[in-house]
Amino acid sequence: MEKQAIKYKRTSSSMHHNTTRYFLTIIFLLAGMTAQAQIAMPTQGKSSTGMGRQPSLSRPNEYEIGGITISGNKYLDEDLLLAVTGLRVGEKLIFPNNDNIAKAIKNLWKQDLFSDVSIDVTKVIGDKVFLNIAIQERPRLSKKNFRGIKKSEAQELNDKINLVKNRVVTDATKQDAINRIKKYYKDKGYGNVSVRVEERFDTVKANSVMLTFDIDKGIKTRINQINISGNEVATDMRLKRTLRSTKEMARLSLYRADDVHVYPKDYDPKRDGFGLDLLHPTRALEALDPYFRPLSIMSSSKFNEQKFSDDKQSMIGYYNSLGYRDAAVLADTVYTVKNGNLNIDMKVGEGHRYYFGDITWRGNTKYSDEVLNRVLGITKGDVYNAELLNKRLGIQISGDGSEDVSSLYMDDGYLFFRIEPREVSIIGDTINFEMVISEGAQATNAKIIIAGNDRTNEHVIRRELRTLPGNKFSRSDLIRSQREIANLGFFDPEKTGINPTPHPENGTVDIEYTVSEKSSDQLQLSAGFGGGVRFYGNIGIMFNNFSLRNIFKPKLWDPLPIGDGQKLSINFQSNAYSYSAFNFAFTEPWLGGRKPNAFTVNFIYSKYGQPVSGIPQYLKVVGGGTSLSKRVQFPDDNFVLTYGINYNYYEVKNYPYLIDGYSNGTSNNVFFKTVLARYSINQPLYPTSGSNISFVFQFTPPWSALSGKDFSNATLSEKYKLIEYHKYRFTAEWYQKIVGNLVFKFATKYGFLGYYNPDIGFSPFERFQLGGDGLSQNSFFLGRDIIAQRGYEVYPNENATIFNKYTAEVRYPFSMSPTSTIYGLAFYECANSWSSFKEYNPFKLNRGAGLGIRLILPMFGLMGLDYGIGFDRYNPATGNTSLKDIGKFTFMLGFEPD
């Protein structure tokens, strides 16, 4: 047999394969004008095998593919390659004019996996032709490196450029990586970054290359100046404040104390508003006007094209809120200045100011026009505000919990409700609207599906839901259910989803709740230092999703019995010297499983003291209690009523630290405790809205009145054998989102301790002690409520029976991850305590302010550090004049001080 010298080939080097590729494509499209003329040359004489003369391929003739082999492949599957070519054994081909061969090569090149492709005719037997597909695979990535950047940046880029080991390396692959690198640095403010790629063959691994990305970040390009023109109604300063992510470099912004949204026509920006350049403070101060006050110091800013586009829409939205519905950014230019930073020129067109005209309703049968107008809250003559209109209609979420037209319908089952505001006419500066309503039918909840709960039993989630099968659909029930799931603390609130699936054909809706489990158990580790107990340590474990019924079923442990939402805590404290304490508590949140009645039992033990000169001195406390909590429906279903009974036994032996000289004896404290609380916080770890309010009434029976004895001449042991008192605590916390995740918190706390019998007076226990970090030794063994105040040491007043405390905080999160919630805060506090009503002065408060940070880890709970400055500790008479004299660090582990 004679071997025909027939080859169909396309070749490309790794550096210039594209050019060759296109060139060869043209050659094959010529259909044999040159290459195939050479291929068709007949072979004369006998073959080396002695089989005689083979059929000539010089003239067109039909042949059958007798076999196909593939050579050169290392990573790719032969069957897959053969399928890509489209060639198959038994297929009829006409040689030499065969378009199928050219098509097969073209299909292989399309995969962008090869640097060389050819198809050879290896032999011809009769009317059968045998082909070999010879390929050379492109080199694959063996290693990548980054040069010119930090190690941390290289680690981040590793995840972003999508270049994994053994991936085929092409020019497109490298260009994509370069684009991703540039975008990464552009988002960080490096607008002039350059990237160069070095490609080297790996001498260790065959057909592999190593890529090195040489990166020059350059300098950060910041926004030097934003110039706005065309504005008459709003000042430059006010418009710049609407650009939330596009800010000028550090400048001190000043504005008038009577700053309003819309300025009169005679407004003079030079007179009524300007920015102080920190680089030229003298020049700025010369122009300072007493009517101005500082607003903020804007941080240095980088330029982001997408955020700038969003900010332009924000500026237009601001104009729309003032009634300027035709406002637009007519032109904007971003250009580089001499220092390498950017200037932005913006030209705005404000248009005319519009007002709401007549508002009519069409399609409403459930509610009258009067009811809908009341909910809408917009009347004829009001300044046109598209955003406000959309929020009042429910087209846009308001976020403040206010009622809107859509929620009015959807809370009554109208899931298919739709509303469209139509501008029916514009007369002068007045816009008349028609609200077109499609009410639809009321929807009924059908299937309620829960997904993602890998550890928590389904009934724990289902019992918290307000959406029940068979009930009418309600949007507010959905929102409330989501909040209740978040407040369980078992799931990541950021990943809790609600997916309603409506079925208009039968008027039902399926609701799926998706959750993502997170660790909710806590290993409590804390430490403190107090003069009486010296250094002490605390270790404990809190299971927030415990399962008592599975405690004897080891197969269901993970690694402990979990899933029923019960709480179990065990805690031990000691300083290994003179103090030890043990606490145990268990809570079943749904006693009986039918109603949210929480049942709690607890046990406490503590002992403090040490022998002095061989004489024992100690205070020992043993006690326990039980309580039952239930939800109440009035004033609303956010209220919880708790009532319980507790007993504490005190044994005092030569103990010198109690007031009134009570140092020996035993005391019994049987008290009842009632708590009325309202909890509406949206998420427990970092609340952004809602409140937490509680009123606590704690009291003992009036033992002295019941006994009928005269205690005017009784000993301390007789007076305090049965402790009697009545005690009140009020605590309220409110959270409000300012902007983004910036949150304002305001809290107030009050306390009062009273007595029944003036001959006995106040109890030596249960008093208040203010100041410090809440870790004072007295919080453990004096039976007192320790009220922390940052920036102050523990108040010397040990007889306090009244206290007031107010706290204002601004919080901002650095991380909202379920594995670590981190946020910073700035606080202002004022508080004081008094021994009696005669001394009480609610306006005489000790003030303090400072900064702090909180870190919440799933297994360790809260860790925090505050630095507070006690303003009223400043006293030249005592020498407290320096920062170290009036400042104080507060460190916390495991819990937030009261």
Residue 419 has pLDDT above 80, yes or no: yes
Task: Please name every residue paired with 197 in a beta bridge, in sequence order, or none if there are none.
Answer: 213
pLDDT at 725 over 70: yes
What is the distance between the alpha carbons of residues 479 and 466, in angstroms, rounded to a whole number?
A: 9
Q: Nearest CA to 775 among 664, 884, 877, 892?
A: 892
Highest mean pLDDT among 59-68, 677-686, 838-847, 886-895: 838-847
Share of the chain above pLDDT 90, in %: 39
Classify residue 338 as exposed, middle or buried by CB count within 10 Å of its CB (0-12, 13-18, 19+): exposed
Q: How far apart are CA 704 and CA 721, in angstroms?
A: 10
Contacts of 649 (CB under 8 A, 6+ apart): 621, 622, 623, 666, 667, 668, 669
pLDDT reported for residue 860 = 67
Share of the chain above pLDDT 70, in %: 83
Cβ contact 158:145 at 8 Å: no
Q: Identify the pLDDT of residue 400.
A: 60
With cut-offs at 50, 70 and 90, classify the pLDDT of residue 53: very low
How would residue 526 be classed by pLDDT, with cut points 50, 70 and 90? low
Per-residue pLDDT tens digits for 629-655: 998 888 888 899 999 999 999 999 988
Does residue 779 carry a pLDDT above 80? no
Condensed to tens digits (0 to 9), the pLDDT of residues 551-562 reads 888 877 777 788
Q: Say whether pLDDT at 699 is over 90.
A: yes
Q: Where are the alpha helices (DSSP H) in 730-833?
A: 778-781
CA 125 – CA 146 distance, rounded (Å): 56
Backbone conformation region of residue 24, classed left if phi is above 0, alpha if psi is from -120 to 50, else beta: alpha
Residues 6+ apart with CB under 8 A from 12: 18, 20, 21, 115, 116
What residues contact residue 110 under an 8 Å CB cut-off, 6+ apart?
none
CA angle 746, 750, 755 (to 5 degrees): 170
Task: State the average pLDDT over residues 469-493.
Answer: 90
384 versus 163: the higher-pLDDT residue is 384
Tokens of 390: 């959309």
Of 63-72, 687-696, 727-736, the range with the lowest mean pLDDT is 63-72
User: Do 316 and 325 form a contact (C-beta atoms < 8 A)?
Assistant: no
Does the pLDDT at position 405 exceed 90?
A: yes
Output the pLDDT for position 282.
33
Mean per-residue pLDDT for 50-59? 44
In angstroms, the CA 730 to CA 805 distance is 10
Average pLDDT over residues 881-887: 88
Smallest CA-to-CA distance from 119 within 72, 169, 49 is with 72
The pLDDT mean for the chain works out to 81
Q: Indicate whether 845 pLDDT > 90.
A: yes
From CA 513, how far away is CA 531, in angstroms rounded?
A: 52
Give the tens place of pLDDT for each residue, 86-96. 888 888 887 76
Give the confidence band of 601 by pLDDT, cuts at 50, 70, 90.
very high
Burial (CB count <10 Å: 0-12, 13-18, 19+), residue 833: buried
Whether the Cβ atoms of residue 88 and residue 65 lie closer than 8 Å to each other: yes
**pLDDT: is 263 or 219 the higher one?**
219
Task: Return the beta strands (E) in 337-487 as ranges.
Answer: 342-349, 355-362, 418-427, 430-438, 444-451
Segment 817-829, tens digit of pLDDT = 767 889 999 999 9
Per-residue confidence (pLDDT) for residue 585, from 0 to 100: 95
Mean pLDDT value of segment 675-693: 91
Q: Are 345 and 333 in contact (CB under 8 A)?
A: yes
Q: Regarding predicted confidence, which is higher, 336 or 30?
A: 336
CB 640 within 8 A of CB 632: yes
Residue corresponding to tokens 């924000």 = 314
The reported pLDDT for the residue numbered 859 is 63
User: What distance lies between CA 259 and its chain's CA centroid?
Assistant: 34
What band does 253 get if pLDDT is binned at 50, 70 and 90? Answer: very low
Kindly give the pairing relationship between strand 768-770 and strand 785-787: parallel
Residue 11 has pLDDT above 70, yes or no: no
Q: Which residues pair with 867 in a beta bridge?
A: 851, 889
